[in-house]
Structure 1
């Protein structure tokens, strides 16, 4: 495993991403005078000022991620979001000023989006946003493109992350790692394929989903809330999009779903996706050498996991 990045190395990584986004923007014919970094975590998000274009440059990636796989997922995201925008769904849309394709530059693969004015100080009401997730699911049911079952959510990241954590005992104790592996042995067979999932959960429908907590990935703008960050768009049970949000969120979603004629959430599937969500957080620790803030961010999840039942209490 690589050594943890230093503050200087992270600053250099951000500077390289900023330079790549700036150069790519100019190559695409955009007016780029004073590009600025808006956000820097798993991706460096760059505003190509004065052009109304924002570039997302992924910089912290799971081991084994190749450029072709990354570009394919970015292309899928752009297609899904462009289609949603055409249907009038409130989303942060791809930029119309450049081709709707991932852009490669200096070792990065990046995507271009419309600049939207949003309030970064607004206190999000995640519970109320779950009502909006039902609206999103209704729209996504009609998406005509092909999205493999839970493909883009990268469940392989759990397997790779747990393997990498064997070399990082300072991040995850051996006893914790052993428990995580045993839980994954129980849960993984249920989501390895659509056929296996449907055999375990007959009657639970599969459809296109956001894939990454859509209630969290919403921007508050003067014109209303906009869904964002469809990097993990895939097909799967709608419960996946409600993982980790709790019983009140499920109740809010169910009320909105009933009003729209959609099915309500399945309790067993919710327990499954909650348990997998915890393991994804555990496995995410393997990325802490690239993004040191992760260790602190994941710590509360680990504490709850250690005190909780095996595999979140999920039973086959």
Structure 2
């Protein structure tokens, strides 16, 4: 797939249309809705959106496994009546192979008050919105706590970050040798955390999670809000889903959920989230414009105290 954004989107659109028509869907007026790490294609006039992984990391088998987990979790949530953008009911709930990758098919919903409009406006309005949506995350966690399927523990961290760091050793992008050494040490910390989580944080709530900041992955529609983009669905502490939402949002979440957020664990998860952000540097050769966007994140990671673990006894 070409690295040029235009050709990438065109190729994704062609794949989506071909796969959709093979499944019996009309695609008379297809249009690209979004094009970053994935390309979203609306197969108009059908109420179906196809997600084409434009910049997937890992093998085709690993991608398919992640997609199948996402379809299973969102399908289960939709079946219970929880507000999510669910799998399209017009096709089977499974990834569809096409062009050397695999695609997933989703409900089409009409978004109102899109986030991109707020990004250009008053920062206070944006903060208020994320604070409210963090409160809604408590509802999502309450629902996901009952998910009956099996999921890996903190899979967006281990082994995903380790694979990315290995790739960055040969193409470090903006990272120095010292940066890479530190990142490797921090990844070792995360490996230990995942392997020994109950011993390290015995009071933590380990449960099924959205996996990728649900307060930021939510659509507002005329019928209410819907959570979306469960590509990183995993098991972990709720603090992983609450990273970088801010103190006021955390307080709102605590009131809504009736439970306390562990600030020490939240801080550790925020360090892990920054290290995960470095993984996106592996995509820069294909999407050069992403490099400048990641520069502030790299600076934030460098300025932060390196990740470390301490044993904590249960009270």
Q: TM-score, normalised by structure 1?
A: 0.89
Which secondary structure state, in structure 2, belongs to the residue aligned with residue 310 of structure 1?
coil
| Structure 2 counterpart of 1:96 | 89
| Structure 2 counterpart of 1:304 | 300
User: After the TM superposition, which residues 22-37 of structure 1 pair with which residues of structure 2 at under 5 Å, given as runs?
Assistant: 22-37=17-32
Q: Is the 8 A contact 2:85 2:228 kept in 1?
A: yes
Per-residue displacement from partner, 1:153-205 (whole Å, max 9, x unpaired)?
A: 252221122222222344212222222222222333112x3xx1011111212
Measured after TM superposition, the shift of residue 294 of structure 1 is: 2.4
Task: Kindly report structure 1 stretches of 4+ aligned residues shifted beyond 4 Å.
Answer: 313-316
Q: Is the 8 A contact 1:20 1:108 kept in 2?
A: no
Measured after TM superposition, the shift of residue 218 of structure 1 is: 0.3
Distance 1:55 1:6, change over 3 A: closer
Per-residue displacement from partner, 1:12-41 (whole Å, max 9, x unpaired)?
A: 332221111100100010111121111001
User: After the TM superposition, which residues 137-176 of structure 1 pair with which residues of structure 2 at under 5 Å, given as runs?
Assistant: 137-151=141-155, 153-176=156-179
Q: Is the 8 A contact 1:268 1:314 kept in 2?
A: no
Per-residue displacement from partner, 1:235-268 (whole Å, max 9, x unpaired)?
A: 111111011223222222111111xxxx321122
Q: Is the 8 A contact 2:158 2:190 kept in 1?
A: no
| Cα separation, 2, equivalents of 1:21 and 1:143 | 30
User: After the TM superposition, which residues 11-22 of structure 1 pair with which residues of structure 2 at under 5 Å, given as runs?
Assistant: 11-22=6-17
| Cα separation, 2, equivalents of 1:183 and 1:296 | 24
Q: TM-score, normalised by structure 2?
A: 0.89
Which secondary structure state, in structure 1, belongs to the residue aligned with residue 216 of structure 2?
coil
| Structure 1 counterpart of 2:190 | 187
Corresponding residue pairs, total: 299
User: After the TM superposition, which residues 1-316 of structure 1 pair with which residues of structure 2 at under 5 Å, given as runs?
Assistant: 7=4, 10-62=5-57, 65-119=58-112, 120=114, 121-123=116-118, 124=126, 125-151=129-155, 153-191=156-194, 193=195, 196-258=196-258, 263-311=259-307, 315-316=310-311
How large is the RMSD of aligned CA atoms in angstroms? Answer: 1.8
Q: Is the 8 A contact 1:122 1:220 kept in 2?
A: no
Q: Is the 8 A contact 1:17 1:108 kept in 2?
A: no
Q: Is the 8 A contact 1:43 1:57 kept in 2?
A: yes
| Cα separation, 2, equivalents of 1:148 and 1:314 | 21
- Segments of structure 1 that go 5 or more residues without pairing to the other structure are none
